[in-house]
Amino acid sequence: MAFSRISHKGRGEVRIYESTHDLSTNLAEYIAEISEASVKERGVFCVALSGGSLISMMSKLRDTPYSRTVDWARWHIFWTDERLVSKSHSDSNYKLAKDVLFSKIPVYPSYIHSINVTVSAEEAANRYEYAIRQLVRKGTVGASRISDCPKFDLILLGMGPDGHVASLFPLHRALNEKNEWVTFLTDSPDPPSQRITFTLPIAKVDAFTLPRNPRESYGSVLFFFGGSLDALLTCAIPEWLRTGIVNLQWKQLQLFGKLLLSAVYLCTFIQVIERIHQHLPEQRIIHIHSDDKL
């Protein structure tokens, strides 16, 4: 399987794949390994998913050997975020995961912990956090040793072309939530406007898939990161700098980012990697798709 690997100071590992096929194959293997280890250690496997292309990349879990070797009866499935739409709506993250994966594997329906979308966004967030807190209290979901936050066995996130993960968008006030585990949006930059999302304290990422947009490719750095300028800016620009220029338009940030990334690439690319590790301190592996060889 063709991929490049970068490890740094024991903080994690970055894998860059030449095709979505290679990425999805390795991702299925990675998920199966974490599942097996979690079941052996705790008796359950708690995984939180987002939506988008990530779900389709998990489709290989339906095939052999995983369809027969994974202990599906021990899986508890959660969502990092959801759009406040019907579960039968095409925008529903629940529907996407069900259609692609969970309707085709023997997961217990009672272990699929979906978000209630029949109430207001605020009420949905409160109810979902309460449900997770109860599962932490029972020991189904693990607990962090350094905070009161839940510690899922695996959280899988994609990154949008504007740099958002889950439903946490660049410069949105939801990023400032420090106390709640789950929050809500009524003004999402991307439709639909009402969403429910994990907050940063519990959105500790174990696997990332970054999109590739050829129209936003500016040299080798962005080929490495799958071509998403905004996604890279979100990780590369220090928080104090993003806060200091909050009044600038995002397109102005993009222009600034092109100059910044050129300097970063010429000086030391590893600083960008370090910034990602600092921003997501508990991650294990970042999976990146690039159509271009390094």
Q: Name the strands in the sheet holding 3-7, side by side, starting at the edge strand that comes first in the sequence.
A: 3-7, 13-17, 285-289
pLDDT number for residue 4 = 52
Considering the chain, what percentage of its residues have pLDDT values greater than 70? Answer: 64
Q: What is the mean pLDDT of the chain?
A: 74
- Whether the pLDDT of residue 44 is over 50: the answer is yes
Evaluate if residue 262 carries a pLDDT over 90. Answer: no
Whole-number Å distance between alpha carbons of 272 and 254: 16
| Residue keyed to tokens 């690997």 | 5
Residue 20 has pLDDT above 50, yes or no: yes
CB 85 within 8 A of CB 92: yes
75-79 and 154-158 strand pairing: unpaired
Q: What is the pLDDT of residue 255?
A: 55
Tokens describing residue 271: 């600083």
Task: Specify the pLDDT at position 178.
Answer: 85
Q: Would you state the pLDDT for residue 192?
A: 95
Higher-confidence residue of 69 and 262: namely 69
pLDDT band at 252 (very low <50, low <70, confident <90, very high): low
Tens digits of residue pLDDT in 151-202: 898 888 877 777 778 898 888 889 888 889 999 999 999 999 999 999 988 8
More confident call, 279 vs 64: 64
Bridge partners (DSSP) listed for residue 165 = 168
Residue with tokens 């294990």: 284
CA atoms in the 13 A half-sphere facing the CB of 231: 25
Note the pLDDT of residue 290. 40
Distance CA 168, CA 178 (A): 13
Stronger pLDDT, 171 or 33, i.e. the higher one: 33
Quote the pLDDT of residue 265: 42
**pLDDT at residue 200, rounded to an integer:** 84
Q: Are strands 75-79 and 45-49 parallel, antiparallel or unpaired?
A: parallel
For residue 3, is pLDDT > 90? no
Determine the pLDDT at residue 254. Answer: 53
What's the pLDDT band for 257 if we cut at 50, 70, 90?
Answer: low
Confidence of residue 284 (pLDDT cuts 50, 70, 90): very low
Question: pLDDT tens for residues 133-158?
Answer: 999 999 999 988 777 788 898 888 87
Inform me whether the pLDDT recorded for 112 exceeds 50. yes
Could you tell me the domains of the chain? 3-228+281-289 (3.40.50.1360)
Higher pLDDT, 243 or 117: 117
